[in-house]
Every structure is written in C-alpha cells, then in structure tokens.
Structure 1
Amino acid sequence: MRLQNKTIIITGSCTGIGKAIAQRCVAEGAQVLIHGLEPDLGQSLVNELGPNNAALHIEDLTNPDAPQHLVDTAITAFGKLDAIVNNAAMVVASNLQTTDLDFFRKMLEVNTLAPFALIKAALPHLTATKGNILNIGSVNAWSGEPNLLPYSVSKGALMTLTRNLGDTLMRENHVRVNQINPGWVLTENEAQRKRDHGLADNWYADLPAVYAPSGRILWPQEIAAAAIYWLADESGPISGQVVDLEQHPFIGRNPPKDTSTIPAPPN
C-alpha cells in the first residue's frame, strides 16, 4: 500500500474530488480526516471508510480557528500528521460586471487564504514527519473563463503559493508542496449546477469535442488516482510543481465558432 500508516487531512472531502481522494487514500492504507460543510454526507463517508480509518470535522474554513481545529482533530484522532490536501473551494460563476469586492474577498478567503492558513497550522507536524502538501487548483488558474473571474484569480494565486512554498518549505522544513489543476470533472455538485442551469439530467452524455475529445469529461476517481502519487513517498523530493489534469491542451485551443449552446466548464 502506497500510503501505509499515513495520516492526511482532506478539506472539502464530503463530496466530489475530495471524497474520491479520501476513498483512495484509505484504500492505499492511510487514515484521513474528512472535512466539509455537510455533516450527514461526511458521517456517511466516515461510516463507509470505517471509524479506525476516518474522522470527521465540520466547519467553515473562513472561521479563523478552523485550520487549527482541523490539525488538532487529526492529531487527537490519529496521533500524527503526514499530509494535507487543500481541496475545498468555492465555485460560483461571476464576471467583471457581476462581481463586487465583498464577493471577490470571500472567494479569495475560501480558495486561497484558507489553504495558506491550514499550511501554517499544520507545518510543525508536517515538519516532524517530513510530510507534504497537495493543493487542488484548476486549469482556470492560467487565465480562466470570462464568467469565472474571481474563481480563476483565486486559483492562480493558489498556484503561485504552491510554487513559492514548494521551494521555501522544501529547503527549510523538508516539506514538499505540489498542486494538481483538474479540468472539467463530473462531480455531484457540478452535475447539480448544470441541472440548476436548466440542462437535462444527462447533459454530460453528449458534449462537444472541443471540451471532451474522449467523449466524456473527467471522473473524480481519476483525479484521486493522480493525487496518490504526490501524497506517497514515491514522488521523492519533487516540490513546487503544478500539473494540469485535462484531456487536451488547455492553453491555445480554438473554440468552435458557435459556443451559444455549449455548457461552460467550471473548473
């Protein structure tokens, strides 16, 4: 098992990509702290994984004390901390005209500052175990959709944080920091968002090739499979790296002339 006896905090892991990462981590021998805002879904996942393998902490990450609460809960439950996965994110569509400063600050607070705060809180324990940090970003970090302005900026800032700390913490603490940028992923929340936008329940079954050359978009389990490499010792001393996980080159592609009927990806 690639994560035998490792303890990992995974934010935003009651659903979606975070849930898939938690399931895969336990399958690889780890113990995980599940986090999110949905106590029923979180408890259901803990029950699935088993109380010896998982614990649950429900709290809004914008609470100033939340990062320390997460670390304390993991240490109390499992005795040490080997890694954190900053996966929790706020995904809301908005552009220059529809974004005000309060909303922009909220997006940065959740998507960029909360990961920074958790890294600071966890660092003493990660230093002790020579552990690692995995940030979950987005391909939109490179520029982003017009209607995902603050979201894209927040993920771009997270990417810079990863590269900066990936150098600093490796030199000073022997703690690795890396990031994966998923493309368009079929999570439960994404499926529901598109239904809320008026699309059919099976909207993802027939997508234009410009967005899904393979005929489908990514699954959370595929992101989780990639995450294990960065959380495991087999990635060695590699730090400060950002890897895009998409089925096509995201930058420089030519969209179709008529995009009016295409549901825009959120990630």
Structure 2
Amino acid sequence: MRLENKVILITGSATGIGKAIAKRCVAEGARVVVHGLEVDLAAAVVAELGAANAVSHIEDLTSEGCPQRLVDLAIKTFGRLDAIVNNAAMVTQGNIHNTDAAYFMKMISVNTLAPFLLIQAALEELSKTRGSVLNIGSVNAWSGEPDLLPYSISKGALMTMTRNLGDTLMRENGVRVNQINPGWVLTENEARRKREHGLREDWYADLPKMYAPSGRILWPEEIAAAAVYWLADESGPVSGQVMDLEQHPFMGRNPPKDSSTIPSK
C-alpha cells in the first residue's frame, strides 16, 4: 500500500474532494484526521473509515488556535504526523462590483491564511517524518472568472505560497510542498450550487463539450487518486510544483461562437 503507516491530516474532509482523499488515503494504508464544520457528516466519515483509522475535529479553521489543535489531535491519537492536505475552502461568488473588504478578507482568511497557519503549526512534526504538504487549489488560480474574483485571487496566492514554501521547506526541513489545481468537479456542494442557480436536478448529465469535452466533469475520487502520488514516497524529492487537473487546456482556450453557457464552476 502506497501510504502504509502514514498519518495524514485533511481539512474539509467531511464532504467532497476532502472526503474522497480521506477514503483513498485509508485504502492506501494511512490513518487520517478528518476535519469539517458539520458534526454529523464528519462522524459518518469516521464511521465509514473505522475508529482505528480516523478521528475527527469540528472547528472553523480561522478560529484562533485551530491549526495547532488539529496537529495536537493527530499526535495524541496516532503518535505522528506525515502529511497535511489543505483542502478546506470557501467557494462563493463575488466580482469587482459587489465584493467589499470584509468579504474579501474572509475569503483570504479561509483559503490562504488558514493553510499557511496549518503548515506553520505542523512544521515541527512534519520535519521529524520528512513529511509533505499538499495544497488543493483551483484552475481559477490562473485568472478565474468574473464572478469568482476573490476566490480566484485567494487560490492564486495559495499557488504562490506553494512555490515559495516548496523550495524553502525542502531546503530547511526536508518537507515537500506541492499543489493540485482541480478543474470542474462534481462534489455535493457543486451539485447544490448549480441547483440553486436554477439548473435541473441532473444538470451534469448533458454538458456543452466546451466545458466537458469527455461528456462529463471530474469525480472527487479522480482528484483523490492524483493526491495519493504527492502524499506517497514515490514522488521522491519533488517539491514546489503545481499540477492542473482538468480535461482541457483552459488557459488561452477560445470557445466556439455557438457554444452554450452555464453558470460559473
């Protein structure tokens, strides 16, 4: 198994991509700290994975001291910490016209500052195990859509942090820092957002080829499969890298004139 005996802390792992990563990590031999905001959902994940393989912590990442409490829980429960996955994120719309300072700062606090503080809190333990950090970004980090302005900026900042710390921490602590930028993924929250936008229940079954050349969008399990490589020893000393996980070359891609449009992903 590719992650045998590793202990991995995964934020935002009660649902969606984080949940899929937690499940895949345990399947590969790891034990995990599940984090989220919903007690019932986190408890369900732990029950599915088994108490010997998982423990949960419910708290807003931006609460003072939360990162250290997550690290302490991993050490208290499993005795070590080999990796953290910064997956938790605030994914809401906003543009140049309707984004105020408070909203912008909240986005940065959740999507950029919280991952930084968790890396900071975990660094001593990760140094002991020559561990790794995997940041979950977004293809929107490269520029983003008009109505995803603050979100895109927060993910762009996360990408810069990955590049910077990927170099610094490998040199100083032997800790690898990498990032994957998922494209459009069919998570529970994404399905809910699209229904709130007025799309039909099965909106994902018939998508314009411009947005889904394969005929479908990505599954959380496919992101989790990619995450395992960066968390496993097989990725060697590779650090400071960002991998985009999407099915089309989104940068510089021009939609055909007759393409259909759908709400932002």
**Under TM normalisation by the shorter chain, which class is it?**
over 0.9
Matches within 5 A, 1:99-138: 99-138=99-138
Matches within 5 A, 1:54-65: 54-65=54-65
**Secondary structure, aligned partner of 1:210:** coil
Note the aligned Cα RMSD (angstroms).
Answer: 0.9
Aligned partners of 1:158 and 1:169: how far apart in 2?
Answer: 15
Q: What is the deviation of 1:261? A: 4.0
Q: What is the deviation of 1:160? A: 0.1
Conserved in 1, the CA contact under 8 Å of 2:208 and 2:260?
Answer: no
Unaligned runs of 5+ in 1: none
Tell me the equivalent position of 1:226.
Answer: 226
TM normalised by structure 1 equals 0.98
Amino acid at match of 1:155: K
**Secondary structure, aligned partner of 1:251:** coil
Tell me the equivalent position of 1:172.
Answer: 172
TM normalised by structure 2 equals 0.99
Aligned partners of 2:121 and 2:80: how far apart in 1?
Answer: 13
Q: What is the deviation of 1:260? A: 6.7
Tell me the equivalent position of 1:203.
Answer: 203
Aligned partners of 2:234 and 2:54: how far apart in 1?
Answer: 23
Amino acid at match of 2:142: W
**Secondary structure, aligned partner of 2:96:** coil
* Matching of residue 10 in structure 1 with residue 10 in structure 2: yes
Conserved in 1, the CA contact under 8 Å of 2:210 and 2:259?
Answer: no
Tell me the equivalent position of 2:212.
Answer: 212
Amino acid at match of 1:20: A
Q: What is the deviation of 1:256? A: 3.6
Deviations 1:28-83 (A, max 9, x none): 00000000001100000000000000000000001021000100111111000000
Aligned partners of 1:247 and 1:129: how far apart in 2?
Answer: 35
Aligned partners of 1:256 and 1:124: how far apart in 2?
Answer: 51
* % same residue: 75
Q: What is the deviation of 1:262? A: 1.8
Aligned partners of 1:218 and 1:104: how far apart in 2?
Answer: 28
**Secondary structure, aligned partner of 2:156:** helix
Amino acid at match of 2:23: Q
Aligned partners of 2:258 and 2:249: how far apart in 1?
Answer: 20
Conserved in 1, the CA contact under 8 Å of 2:6 and 2:31?
Answer: yes
Amino acid at match of 2:39: P
Aligned partners of 2:262 and 2:53: how far apart in 1?
Answer: 41
